[in-house]
């Protein structure tokens, strides 16, 4: 039996029970169920879950606000669950720090597998698989520790943000299409990924660039994709 700690946040008991049963079938038993946003934040701080499934529509704080507060102290994967299927809602979920967004009605088995995928990505950040760091301009990308520093100051990135930056760094100077970047980082078909990728790139620029409106590291190649460059190399 695995020991991953999973936190489920939804105000509908039937949804919580359905998710718990689906996860039990896949071998996940260390599950905490929460029915409101305020408790979700305090419980997350105390138990430090490995992954969270978070409903957007909660009776007190909405899921977006809960995620924003959790991101102040935790970078664990957050999978939004929502009855809202509007593209803007999905983009907002990613913008506040979510890692995935699933709409209701959902397949319990699919949710269990999305949890597995989220945990794998989080583990990838924690387990050293390459014994080196990448220095690009003022950035130091620690592949072993999955950390990024700029001028010695650590920059907090989400799991997806780090994976995007790492992949671009490993292909320094090469143009990577949005579809290829999405397929590599998300492990899914990149069709229709433009808005999702644009949100993550914008967040990376806000954290890495002196002036996100005039980026020096992550360059957009119009109609082609993105490339990471060293601004100090001629």
* CA–CA distance, 207 with 117 (Å, rounded to integer): 26
User: Residues 48-53: what's their mean pLDDT?
Assistant: 95
3-state class (DSSP) for residue 118: helix
Query: How much is the pLDDT for 129?
Result: 44
Closest residue by Cα to residue 70 from 85, 80, 82: 80
Number of Cβ within 10 Å of residue 10's Cβ equals 25
Contact 39, 59 (CB under 8 A): no
3-state class (DSSP) for residue 218: strand
Contact 6, 30 (CB under 8 A): yes
187 vs 119: which has the higher pLDDT: 119
* CA–CA distance, 54 with 25 (Å, rounded to integer): 20
Find the range with the poorest average confidence among 5-19, 100-114, 196-210: 100-114
pLDDT at position 188 over 80: no
Residues 6+ apart with CB under 8 A from 117: 187
Only one residue has tokens 């701080």, namely 45
The tens digit of pLDDT for each residue in 191-223 reads 777 888 899 999 999 999 999 999 999 999 988
Element (H, E) at 192: none
3-state class (DSSP) for residue 34: strand
**Helical H segments across the chain, by residue range:** 13-25, 37-47, 63-70, 87-95, 108-126, 159-170, 178-186, 194-208
Query: How much is the pLDDT for 124?
Result: 58
Structure tokens at 153: 């100051």
The reported pTM is 0.60
Q: What is the mean pLDDT of the chain?
A: 88
Contact 82, 101 (CB under 8 A): yes
Phi, psi of 18 (to 5 degrees): -65, -45
């Amino acid at each position: 039996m695995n020991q991953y700690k999973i936190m489920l946040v939804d105000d509908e008991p039937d949804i919580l029970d359905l998710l718990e049963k689906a996860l039990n079938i896949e071998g996940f038993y260390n599950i905490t169920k929460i029915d409101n946003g305020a408790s979700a934040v305090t419980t997350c701080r105390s138990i430090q879950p490995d992954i969270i499934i978070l409903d957007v529509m909660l009776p007190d704080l909405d899921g977006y606000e809960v995620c924003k507060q959790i991101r102040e102290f935790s970078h664990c994967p957050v999978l939004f669950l929502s009855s809202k299927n509007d593209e803007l809602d999905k983009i907002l979920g990613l913008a506040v720090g979510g890692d995935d967004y699933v709409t209701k009605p959902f397949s319990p088995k699919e949710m269990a597998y999305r949890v597995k995928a989220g945990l794998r990505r989080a583990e990838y950040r924690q387990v050293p698989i390459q014994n080196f760091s990448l220095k690009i301009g003022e950035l130091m990308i620690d592949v072993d520790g999955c950390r990024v520093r700029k001028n010695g100051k650590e920059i907090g990135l989400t799991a997806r943000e780090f994976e995007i930056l790492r992949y671009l760094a490993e292909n320094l100077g090469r143009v990577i299409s949005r579809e290829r970047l999405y397929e590599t980082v998300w492990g899914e078909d990149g069709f229709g990924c433009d808005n999702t990728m644009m949100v993550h790139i914008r967040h990376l620029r806000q954290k890495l660039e002196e002036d996100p409106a005039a980026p020096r590291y992550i360059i957009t190649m119009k109609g082609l994709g993105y490339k990471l460059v060293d601004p100090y190399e001629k």
